[in-house]
Structure 1
């Protein structure tokens, strides 16, 4: 049993975050996602978008929520990690359950307080996303099928990402910045397709190493590749639906589709190894950056 004094906890949590929640990946993703969603929602109203204090509050809240969920994942995957990832912090004692739960409680309090300054709706929407994450942890403990079947687990766990998107969009609606309509649903679908392209890419391979949890193990490599490419195509389709009326410049973010197109061709041509992840990560970054730039450069 690991005994930790209170003064040690911040340093141990810091090391956990740097290892299991690398800021250059997770913080970059959270910021780009929140900025792309907000800026696109505002741009679709015809108004100019400029980041405000509320913008950064939403972005920070998304990053904190992602950290909360990452800490939760570390706890619910403990039994699996003891077998397949014995070097993980929770397995080795580099962090404890109590420390992670204390940090999650602090994130909940801070996130709720920050969003209460925006609106009660924003605070409740953020709490709904965090609460769904906790519900999932309980469900996975009770249901071996959800825990062990990759596609079922994705179907059950992915809505927490949707709830975070709804938090960003819903807080804009509550602030009177945008009016809720079908375009909000299309924007959320766009973000879902971008994320799911990356999610399937990282779990699609021709071979599976022992203990690997891959979608391609259930679907087969070719069908998993088709699904992966299909999500990228879905993201492009959502952009055409939303931004085609603005003319060719409005569709400039679609140029990022060259990355998943090349990744799909390479994966199917080489027929060994995994999906070329730089193309999947590049698609996320390029799409979101292009959406933010499109909104920011709007006259």
Structure 2
């Protein structure tokens, strides 16, 4: 790397990994998953040093995957997004690789200090991301078919969730049981609601990677709404025993309900993205507030 590489990397992060979005998402996701896992066992929760290791590790892993996506999508971006940093030369592939190697070393060191199991789980997620890069280059079907690509790439998010939960199990904070699977399913539904919402529109420009281009706008909207409903469904068996406070996060479903009605009644344009983003933030923030307020 050149001396200018750190400044170039900082500009890349500000453009392609907007901290107010990705850091907020990583923070809320980890806190919601950890606090829900602990309180589901009937134990009071409060963040610890290990909590912040998980937060930092997930945020850095998301940055690693963002860098990997830029590298993976370089050929596509040369045609459809000529202003992207890697296309314009604002950063190089070598600089991205160097940053990815540094991230791997940092998260490995952080987690090994806590638990070897945690370090291995996180490395599995990063390794799966690297495997996807090779797979997409070898398989045009995976690269070009949007739904197949999602089916193949989404498990990396599951692996990050498994890292958070697995590190809690390794630390003795929780005992692995069905609630872990339910929490990972809840996280999956929240993420996939947003993922489908941002790629659902009535119109599709040539080359646009939209789920609605293959499913049609109405079916894509139904899937988007279905994931929001699934997130609520996962919460009922987990938190209903805690009474009304336990089900407080379910109120976030009002946002996707409004988004679905707005999209279908408009008959044009895109899904109202603020509603989808709000669903993620409100759900995870409510889960944290619920855990803090529980006796």
Question: How high is the TM-score relative to the length of structure 2?
Answer: 0.99
Shift of 1:242: 0.7
Matched, 1:168 2:164: yes
Deviation at 1:246, TM superposition (A): 1.0
Matched, 1:144 2:140: yes
Q: CA deviation at 1:211?
A: 2.1
Q: Are 1:158 and 2:179 an aligned pair?
A: no
SS class of match (1:183): helix
Q: Deviations over 1:42-79 (max 9, x none)?
A: 01011110001100110110000000000000001000
Matched, 1:89 2:109: no
- 1:210 Cα offset (Å): 2.6
Q: CA deviation at 1:7?
A: 1.2
Q: 2:294 matched to 1:298?
A: yes
Alignment gaps of 5+ in structure 2: none
In 1, distance between residues paired with 2:202 and 2:2?
47
1:264 aligned onto 2:260: yes
- Per the alignment, residue 183 of structure 1 pairs with 179
Structure 1 residue 80 corresponds to structure 2 residue 65: no
Pairing 1:70–2:79 present: no
Pairing partner for 1:241 from 227, 237, 244:
237
**Alignment gaps of 5+ in structure 1:** none
Aligned to 2:5: 9
SS in 2 for 1:237: helix
Structure 1 Cα separation of the partners of residues 85 and 259 of structure 2: 33
Q: Which of 214, 221, 228 is the aligned partner of 2:210?
A: 214
Corresponding residue for 1:59? 55
Q: Indicate which of 39, 43, 46 corresponds to 2:42.
A: 46
Cα separation, 2, equivalents of 1:206 and 1:193: 23
Instruction: Give the C-alpha shift of residue 248 in structure 1.
Output: 1.3
Q: In angstroms, what is the RMSD of aligned CA positions?
A: 0.6
Which of 276, 280, 284 aligns to 1:280? It is 276
> 2:265 and 2:222 mapped to 1: Cα distance?
13
Aligned pairs for 1:32-43 within 5 A: 32-43=28-39
Partner of 1:226: 222
Is the aligned partner of 1:199 residue 2:198? no
